[in-house]
Structure formats: structure tokens, C-alpha cells
Amino acid sequence: DAGVIQSPRHEVTEMGQEVTLRCKPISGHNSLFWYRQTMMRGLELLIYFNNNVPIDDSGMPEDRFSAKMPNASFSTLKIQPSEPRDSAVYFCASSLEAGGSETQYFGPGTRLLVL
Amino acid sequence: AQKVTQAQTEISVVEKEDVTLDCVYETRDTTYYLFWYKQPPSGELVFLIRRNSFDEQNEISGRYSWNFQKSTSSFNFTITASQVVDSAVYFCALRSNNAGNMLTFGGGTRLMVKP
């Protein structure tokens, strides 16, 4: 079975440009999570969806960040405009939530560098 | 509030040595779940184990074993006869029902196994 798929795996862009990260969760999973990993702050939850609905976006750093999940098999995280401090590894994870105990499975991550 | 502490930021051992990675957690909830993830140099996050708060039975999987002790709020991870391929950053994480689906990660322990 395919795991969580993320694209692109690497992205280099210039400050001010729009960046779109993509995620395909594991088929059948009903929850999707976006995390950011940096040396300074470790792993942070940005936002999570349940049944395609955003449940908690309190981790989204600012209005430049937005996330969508138009259907059960696709989600995007967009940064507009991007800034050098957004450079990080962005992970998408999915799980099948059935009672609050399910395991989150992570994608390979997108390594973003904003120059 | 939830918190996970991995006091060891970096450990270096020689191949075939046993090594224990410490994890201490804080939560006010009586029902919670503990996880370990491995992040090898390639960068992906690999799920290793999940433990429920009501199951303190220790677990062994090959060279890996986990010691869960509620009395000390610890969930330690031991690798027996370490190998170079075990070199990675290991993350302990906590999730409780009252925190929704949010995973709280520790800061990670970087394990270096030298030949």
C-alpha cells in the first residue's frame, strides 16, 4: 500500500514568491495533518483536518499560510508571500480516527528553502 | 497542557552496545497514548510503536524494547546490540483525548552508532 505522498520533495524559491505544497493521504484515512520541522522549534503542528474539514488551525503562523482539503485524497499548504524564515521541512501525516487513539503516518516531507 | 521531554539531545555509542533513549511526559489526562518515531538521515518520520496509558506491559520487537512506567511518567526506548543503521533522530510523542488529535513531540534524541 502507498504511504502518504508529498510533492515536491524539495523546493527552492525566492522571497515573495508563492509556494504550494501538496499531500495525498493514505487511502481510507479520514484525518490529515500538516507539520513544520525546524532546528529551532522542532516539530510543530500547523493544522489538521478531519473528514476534509479544518478542525484546528491554531498552529498556522500567520495569514500568509493557508491550507485546503478539497477532497479526501488531496490537500495543499500554501505560503504567499514566502519569506526566508519559512525555510523548513514540511510534513504531511494522515490517520484513521476512530476513537482518539490512532497512529499518524508521515509522508517523506517537503524541504523548503526560501532565499 | 502536555509536554514531552527528551533530555538526551545526542548519544554516541559503538556498534553492538546497548543504548536507552529516555522520554518523560506530562499530561493531566488519564487516557493518553505514547509514540516513538524514527527519523533517519534521509529525513522521513517512521512510526515505531504506540502505547496506551492503560497498558503498562513492556514490549519487545527484535532488538527494540520499550519500558512504560506510569509511576515515573516515562516511556523509555532501548536498542540492544546497536547497529550503524540505527543512527537516526528518535522522537517520543504524546497524545491525549482531551487534546484532540494533536501529537506533542519531544525535542528528539540524535543517536550516532559508530562502527
Please tell me the distance from the alpha carbon of residue A96 to that of residue A30, in angstroms, as a whole number: 5
Which of B3, B5, B31, B45 to mutate against chain A (most A CBs within 10 Å)?
B45
Could you give the angle at the alpha carbon of B63 between the alpha carbons of A89 and A92, nearest 5°?
20
Please tell me the distance from the alpha carbon of residue B51 to that of residue B60, in angstroms, as a whole number: 12
Q: Is the pLDDT of residue A115 over 80?
A: yes
Among partner residues B50, B103, B108, which is closest to A45 by beta-carbon distance? B103
Q: How does pLDDT run across A22-78, given as a tens digit for each residue?
A: 999 999 999 999 999 999 999 999 999 999 999 989 889 889 999 999 999 999 999
What 8-state DSSP symbol labels residue A103?
Answer: P
- Give residue B57's pLDDT: 82
- Give residue A100's pLDDT: 58
- Give residue A67's pLDDT: 97
Greater pLDDT, B52 or B18? B18
3-state secondary structure of B103: coil
Q: How does pLDDT run across B60-110, given as a tens digit for each residue?
A: 889 999 999 999 999 999 999 999 999 999 999 999 877 667 889 999 999
Residue A105 bridge partners (DSSP): A94
- Give residue B82's pLDDT: 97
- Give residue A101's pLDDT: 61
pLDDT > 90 in chain A, percent: 83
- Give residue A2's pLDDT: 82
Interface touch A103/B52, C-beta < 8 Å? no
Please tell me the distance from the alpha carbon of residue B103 to that of residue A45, in angstroms, as a whole number: 8
Q: Is the peptide bond between A81 and the residue preceding it cis, with omega within 30 degrees of 0? A: yes
- Give residue A102's pLDDT: 81
- Give residue A97's pLDDT: 79
Average pLDDT over residues A86-105: 87
- Give residue A99's pLDDT: 63
3-state secondary structure of B12: strand
Greater pLDDT, A2 or B80? B80
- Alpha carbon of B17 to those of A110, B87, B101: distances in Å? 34, 13, 36
Q: Is the pLDDT of residue A1 over 70?
A: no
3-state secondary structure of A104: coil
Which of B2, B50, B103, B105 to mutate against chain A (most A CBs within 10 Å)?
B103
Among partner residues B33, B47, B102, which is closest to A105 by beta-carbon distance? B47
- Give residue A62's pLDDT: 85
Residue pair B31/B53 in contact by the 8 Å Cβ criterion:
yes
